[in-house]
A and B are shown apart, each in its own frame.
Chain A
């Protein structure tokens, strides 16, 4: 018998509908597998009872002949997304016992679509990191080689899908936190246009950049999970009142004549030669499918990481001011005056990277520096957005780029130098700053046996073109079929 955990969502759908296996059996297979792969450290919490209960409920719907694309499909949820009654920590000591009293809108939407929540997925604390090493639960390991990082901050979400511990998962992306781990783990991940998906119930990091998106092992499955979470939410004023198209209709179309922009600024010195070669190969594949490659210029690329490391910490320092040890979260013990209680609770609760970003954010927002840093960064953010607008208006329909400038790195390798870690997001950050949709699809395996990702960047609200290009590329290559060999613990 085939391993049911290795099936695509579409194959699982067929198996469930034809009663080849039940949702209870499918759920159990995944829970068992998660258990056996616990050394990867993907999950922060497994919802064994809750998942079994949902699976039984769904089996009775299936018996009544009910069906829907995601009915009975197991999912994993990044631990920054609130799940009613299920501990949600943002991988931080400050929230280590937090039990949300409500579901995030994306969780509500998935539950309504009929998914089974297997558990919560490990991440960098408060989504701050590019390696999933900043977590109170410890680092997540890359299923392709456990000595390497899976990327971050949604490292657990990516590693779990790559290792077959769940077929699809949710992550969040503020500066690359879906696309970079998708690339490092050899799977597909999409960050939708800012405003496409509700952020209600998602623990905030940098609200003007955060967006929820899905991970999957193929483009079609990614379209299904993206479809399920998009749409206006009265609880999030920044969620857009724009129709959500049927993304599966964008799949399987040809890309003849489609103009693919290659940003010349992305071929910088320091780009790993294997990354560069994989990108060139991917471009030839797209050309072979009839697409036309054109060089485009995004002149402010070099400023993007600097803009991000002003704006994101500024927003984080305000967003994280709510963690004061009073109403929820960790409170320092002892007879303390109020100010000491705040400071002790926060210092005991926040990890080093989080404290570092709060300090940077406090600095750039303080009197005397606000104009020079914060306002300046907001102006350059306008210029970065215009770079993309010009490229799309004059030259191309989609932009392709590497997802990350380098291969996955070893656990511990970049921990001592925060700036080097930040520069890992050089190709993903501009997309968040411009509010655009971005996707990473597998496009190669390095000589050292680690996966590489191709990034597709679209116009605002044009996830469809990303799905079209990704699906055409997937049809012409077999990178998405490559799986890590299970590692000995």
Chain B
């Protein structure tokens, strides 16, 4: 069983701010889910390897090569179907998604006094 205090601690670790009035409900839901998944204790896994990739793929490596990184042309109907490695993304398009920025710099709260 997980307590309300443990749920608050978890929320802090996950950087979530729980509404105090909802903490009992959330705790109840987590207990019901964690209680349910306990059934795995009944499964004998002696000598069974933990899965790391479902198709058994391990390291996918590529040549560490220098390449020209231009901008990626947009896909066009019946155009070249080859999928190229992602090129540089447009700076303006990226900055337009930043919630608070000044010129090319992302504004963040003061971290070091």
Residues of A within 8 A of B (CB): 54, 57-58, 61, 66, 68, 71, 84-85, 97-99, 101-103, 105, 107-109, 111-114, 194-195, 198, 200, 208, 231-235, 237-238, 240, 300, 302-303, 305-307, 309-310, 317, 321, 324-331, 335-344, 346-347, 350, 355-356, 358-360, 362-363, 366, 373, 375-383, 385, 417-419, 422, 433-435, 460
Contacts and interface: CB of A to CB of B under 8 A. Distances in A.
Contacts of B74: 84, 103, 111
B76 interface: yes
B79 interface: yes
Contact of A307 (B40, B62, B111): B40
Contacts of A373: 37, 40
A195 B30 CA distance: 32
B33 A376 contact: no
A86 to B, nearest CB: 12
B75 to A, nearest CB: 4
Contact of A194 (B19, B33, B54): B54
B15 A378 contact: no
A435 B41 CA distance: 23
Contacts of A418: 29, 32-33
Query: Interface centre among B36, B72, B77, B108, by most A CB within 10 Å?
Result: B77
A360 B75 contact: no
Contacts of B81: 109, 112
Contacts of B80: 112
B94 A101 contact: yes
A342 to B, nearest CB: 4
A99 B89 CA distance: 13
B7 A359 contact: yes
A347 B54 contact: no
Contacts of A435: 54-55
B94 to A, nearest CB: 6
B86 interface: yes
Given A338-B108, A419-B36, A359 B78 contact: no
A383 B14 CA distance: 31
Given A337-B109, A363-B30, A419-B36, A383 B78 contact: no
B77 A99 contact: no
Given A102-B72, A327-B97, A383-B48, A366 B83 contact: no
B60 A237 contact: yes
Nearest to B83: A233
Interface centre among A54, A103, A108 (most CB of B within 10 A): A108
